Structure 1
Amino acid sequence: MTTEAAPPSGGADTHPASPTAEEFCAVQSSPEFGELRSSYRSFAFPLTVAFIAWYLLYVLLSNYAGGFMGTKLFGNVNVALVLGLGQFATTFLIAWWYSRHAAEKLDPKASAIKSRMEAGE
């Protein structure tokens, strides 16, 4: 049995109108978006610079301070192994820290901006 009736309005197939380029530009120049961008940059940029410096220090020590990196700390564990494992640990620590920062500070602001854009404000 088939029906020829149109689907009810407001169903799953209805989508809100897409924001225009002008609306995106207006949001981008808003103080709220500037605050979101500033929150992101004040966290991400210093941490990125610090991690790259830490990584380059490890590489430079590996290349030019072989005696220091080969210093045994205990058993067969040397400084190079500890610093290398430290690279992995800091990578996971930074990812966890950024996840917390984003959930607490960035996501609520971004969601507010998104919902206002979708509502057409």
Structure 2
Amino acid sequence: MSAESQPDVTDDIDFVAERDSEEFQELRKTHRSFVFPMAIFFLVWYFAYVLLADYFHDFMSIKVFGNINMGILLGLLQFVSTFVITALYVQFSNNKLDPKASKIRERLEKEGVN
């Protein structure tokens, strides 16, 4: 059995020119406009939780309801915030990033690059 070798479609792409294209730069700018602020928000929120757990034992041991205290509640909210950020990113990507990426892909395909 021999497999037919297919031509490398990336041979025809000028990656540097594509990276420098206005469309691609706009896509990167849009991506960064969401990712960096959200990453900063999450890291601040996470380290606030860690610092509260380490230095504010009295606050973290406040009972909220039953045997659930602030530490457990804030810890569970870490998971909730992760899922919320993920859902927000998926929505952002679907609405903002994917249309721009599709335009770039379509342009490249029209130029003969798959």
- What's the TM-score, normalizing by structure 2? 0.86
Opposite residue 91 of structure 1, the aligned amino acid is T
List structure 1 runs of 4+ shifted beyond 4 angstroms.
none
Opposite residue 105 of structure 1, the aligned amino acid is K
Q: Residue 4 of structure 1 corresponds to which residue in structure 2?
A: none
Structure 2 unaligned runs (5+)?
A: none
Overall identity of the aligned pairs, in %: 44
Q: Residue 108 of structure 1 corresponds to which residue in structure 2?
A: 99
Q: What do you get for the CA RMSD once the two structures are aligned?
A: 2.1
Q: Residue 20 of structure 2 corresponds to which residue in structure 1?
A: 29
- What's the TM-score, normalizing by structure 1? 0.81
More helix by share: 2
Match among 40, 51, 64 for residue 55 of structure 2:
64
Structure 1 residues 83 and 105: alpha-carbon distance in aligned structure 2, compared to 1, 3 A threshold? same
Paired residues in the alignment total: 109
Opposite residue 88 of structure 1, the aligned amino acid is F
Match among 53, 64, 75 for residue 44 of structure 2:
53
Structure 1 residues 21 and 59: alpha-carbon distance in aligned structure 2, compared to 1, 3 A threshold? farther
Superposition pairs of residues 72-111 of structure 1, within 5 angstroms: 72-111=63-102
Structure 1 residues 54 and 21: alpha-carbon distance in aligned structure 2, compared to 1, 3 A threshold? farther
Structure 1 unaligned runs (5+)?
A: 1-12
